[in-house]
Amino acid sequence: MNRVPAVFAVLLVLPVSVFGQDSTAKGNATPFRKGQWAAQFQAGTAFGSLGFIKFRSPTRALVLDLRIEGSHSEAILTDSSGGRRFGGLESEAFTQVRFGWRRYRGDGTAAKVVSHYSFGALAGFEHHVGAARGGSSRSNGGTAGVFGDVGGTYLLTSRFGIGALATAAVSYRTVVSKSSFGTASRDWSIGGSALNASLVATVYF
């Protein structure tokens, strides 16, 4: 069990060590090929995502990442006579799309370890509904921004690799809210996220 944090830490250090190598000594080559596709599954402490990678060359690729989250809960109240009545509900959904460019670095076509970094744009949509016996509220929001990440992958086989990714983002968010009482509001904010670490599994086709 104690090996998991150590492996995670090593995977995060991979990009630093590989990018720091003398590129003129070994050159920059990877096992990937132009036109190749890959599917990337990412799992973090607060999110999960599915991504697709399209290689434009052995060291360059386009990345499309999709994140979807949602939840729904309801409260049913029971009075002293045993009767049951509606107490309230909360429902929310969130989706975000990220599109960017990725650069890879390795020490040969037979390399088992490759590092990479990406940058690009993101856009998202969120929806929230809340209701109780006294009324209800609804809000819709949108997000737009930029992101960057750095990571490393260990190729267990030519078709499958595991690794780690550290991501940071800056985004603009706006939310419009309405209630059953006739009130409405519009809020906006600009924020960013520090480096969020996640584990990544990649399948190459």
* Each residue's pLDDT tens digit, 153-180: 999 999 999 999 999 999 999 999 999 8
pLDDT, residue 25, reads 42
- Whether pLDDT at 117 is above 80: yes
One-letter-per-residue 3-state SS of 93-140: EEEEEEEEEEEEECECCCCCEEEEEEEEEEEEEEEEEEEECCEEEEEE
- Residue among 28, 34, 38, 16 nearest 151 (CA): 16
Three-state DSSP class for residue 14: helix
Q: Which range scores top for mean pLDDT: 16-30, 33-47, 168-182?
A: 168-182
- Whether pLDDT at 51 is above 70: yes
Distance between CA 141 and CA 139 in Å, rounded? 7
pLDDT, residue 192, reads 85
Q: What is the pTM of this model?
A: 0.78
Average predicted confidence (pLDDT) for the chain: 86
The CATH-assigned architecture of domain 3-204 is Beta Barrel (2.40)
Least confident range from 3-7, 32-36, 81-85, 117-121: namely: 3-7
Enumerate the domain spans of the chain: 3-204
pLDDT, residue 166, reads 92
Residue 24's pLDDT band (cuts 50, 70, 90): very low
What letter does residue 193 receive in the DSSP assignment? E
pLDDT, residue 45, reads 63
10 Å CB burial of residue 185 (0-12, 13-18, 19+) is: exposed
Return the H-helix or E-strand segment holding 60: strand 60-78
pLDDT, residue 27, reads 67
